[in-house]
Amino acid sequence: MTTSAGRDAQSEIYRAGVAGRRPRIPVGFAQLERAAQRRMSRAAFAYVAGSAGLERTADADLDAFRRRRIVARVLRDVSSRDLSVDLFGVRRPTPLLLAPIGVLELARRGGDAAAARAAARLGVPAMLSTQASQPMEEVAAAMDAAAPGASRWFQLYWSSSRELVASLVERAERAGCEAIVVTLDTHVLGWRPRDLALGYLPFSRGLGIAQYTSDPVFQGLVRERATRKRTSDRPGGGPATTPTPAALASFASILRHHPGPLREKLRSGEPLAAVETFLDVFADPSLTWDDLAFLRERTRLPIVLKGVLHPDDARRAVDAGVDAVQVSTHGGRQIDGEVGALDALPGVVDAVAGRIPVLFDSGIRGGSDALVALALGARAVAIGRPYVYALALAGEEGVRELLRNTIAELDITLGLAGVRRVADLDPSVLAPSGTGTSVLAGGR
């Protein structure tokens, strides 16, 4: 699969520039983030941009990239380049993935389908989040309409209801997902000051729980809860309180997000029960390695463990028979003061020793970052916040442009570094420990 993605994108942009047309989304990440901030509501931007605590992990994720340096090689015939990688027995045109991001409606209504369609058109697998704003079946259909059979994976938050876990996995298989990505770093939400300061959690207003409200097992749990509540709330049960305007707005949001006719939603009390049920069953902090057998028995799809940072956990994952691990700090949203994901990558790659692929996310802001992570042993890298900002600014077209630009920069940087194929990347293209010059001393 040879590519001229870099040159093609450049000439598209410069030709349009001659005619006076500028790119739809800012090409640089800092400008992209600023433009998205202006477009999004305060709460929405805080939710997307925010990280845990003093946001030191988010800084460490970026800092780890700042410390790495590429050392280009010359005179190596890089006239044709190949960005493709093999993943789970399928040749993918690029090593990019769309990271699972919850509540994409915060960026744009219909954002899950829009982002996934953009990915589908470029052959980039989309990881569909358990916290999506649209049911996976709807997003899968949108992807198929854009590119039949386009690759999607399902990201699983392992609920405390085993029946719900089994149901989500079964639905993912039926919706044509190619892998199950179990996110292990979020059995409780991290301490996120930007959201805490606003008292804003999207799920408690009915956003980002569409995979649940569309699930038959979850619906059963909600019906039980709503029935219990109706029978315990007999007239005269307790003192009536007057709701605040904010509480009414939240209730309206919950009603709006719940499926079904309004009259029925008001009668049944299920919309509120759905939010409460979700908050109860969201995750299972008691999970251990032994529980993975439950998942293995229920699906033949490849299983990816997302959020692995320690080499011992990586070894354990191989022993447990999973199909890949994904090094990630969740974009620094979970633990403050954690190791930067890129700094953890080499240890995991060493521990896995080629037995399963290592995927990577957290801090990828452009094609050059992708190259660095691939050189350190990642088989593929997932783009996170940048595509959310592109989505907020220009919907599907914005995400398409963002992915195209990332692929283009990767292609150009690869060639300029003197490497022909992504599959040939290894740490020799980087200065040891980011020193920049010492590679010259020991060169071959």
Ligand X SMILES: Cc1cc2nc3c(=O)[nH]c(=O)nc-3n(C[C@H](O)[C@H](O)[C@H](O)COP(=O)(O)O)c2cc1C
- Should residue 134 be labelled a site residue for ligand X when binding is judged by CB under 6 A? no
Select 130 or 167, whichever has its Cβ closest to ligand X: 130
- Would you tell me the crossing angle of helices 367-375 and 341-352 to the nearest 10 degrees? 30
For residue 38, count other CB atoms closer than 10 A to its CB: 9
Site for ligand X in 66-125 (CB under 6 A): 99-102
The DSSP annotation for 386-400 comes to HHHHHHHHHHHHHHH
Select 226 or 341, whichever has its Cβ closest to ligand X: 341
| 330 catalytically annotated | yes
Using CB under 6 A, pick the residue from 151, 167, 328, 413 that binds ligand X.
Answer: 328
Using CB under 6 A, pick the residue from 206, 363, 366, 377 that binds ligand X.
Answer: 363
Using CB under 6 A, pick the residue from 108, 225, 257, 330 that binds ligand X.
Answer: 330
- Should residue 202 be labelled a site residue for ligand X when binding is judged by CB under 6 A? no
- Should residue 133 be labelled a site residue for ligand X when binding is judged by CB under 6 A? no
- Should residue 194 be labelled a site residue for ligand X when binding is judged by CB under 6 A? no
Q: Which stretch binds ligand X (CB under 6 A): 17-25, 80-88, 195-203, 323-331?
A: 323-331
Name, in order, each residue with C-beta under 8 angstroms of 249's C-beta and a sequence gap of 6 or more: none
Total binding residues toward ligand X, as defined by CB under 6 A: 21
Select 184 or 422, whichever has its Cβ closest to ligand X: 184
Min. distance of Cβ 108 from ligand X in angstroms? 13
Report the first-to-last Cα separation within the chain, whole angstroms. Answer: 30
For residue 294, count other CB atoms closer than 10 A to its CB: 14
Min. distance of Cβ 330 from ligand X in angstroms? 5
Select 100 or 271, whichever has its Cβ closest to ligand X: 100
- Should residue 129 be labelled a site residue for ligand X when binding is judged by CB under 6 A? yes
For residue 91, give the H/E element and its range.
Answer: strand 90-92
What distance in Å separates the CA atoms of residue 284 and residue 288, rounded to the nearest whole number? 10
Indicate the residue type of 80. Answer: S
CA nearest neighbour of 416 among 11, 15, 85, 81: 81
Indicate the residue type of 192. Answer: R
Using CB under 6 A, pick the residue from 123, 357, 384, 415 that binds ligand X.
Answer: 384
Look at strands 2-3 and 358-360 and give their pairing. Answer: unpaired
The DSSP annotation for 326-364 comes to EE--GGGTS-TTPPPHHHHHHHHHHHHTTSS-EEE-SS-
Select 131 or 405, whichever has its Cβ closest to ligand X: 131
- Should residue 362 be labelled a site residue for ligand X when binding is judged by CB under 6 A? yes
Site for ligand X in 166-185 (CB under 6 A): 183
Q: Is the dihedral of CA 319, 321, 323, 328 positive or negative?
A: negative
Indicate the residue type of 429. Answer: V
Using CB under 6 A, pick the residue from 5, 9, 36, 48 that binds ligand X.
Answer: 48
Min. distance of Cβ 3 from ligand X in angstroms? 24
Select 104 or 419, whichever has its Cβ closest to ligand X: 104
Using CB under 6 A, pick the residue from 117, 225, 257, 306 that binds ligand X.
Answer: 306
> Residue 380: what are its φ and ψ, rounded to 5°?
-150, 160
CA atoms within 13 A on the CB side of 267: 5
What six digits make up the tokens of 35? Answer: 């433009």
Catalytic residue list: 330
Given the rule CB under 6 A, which residues bind ligand X?
A: 47-48, 99-102, 129, 131, 155, 183, 306, 328, 330-331, 333, 361-364, 384-385
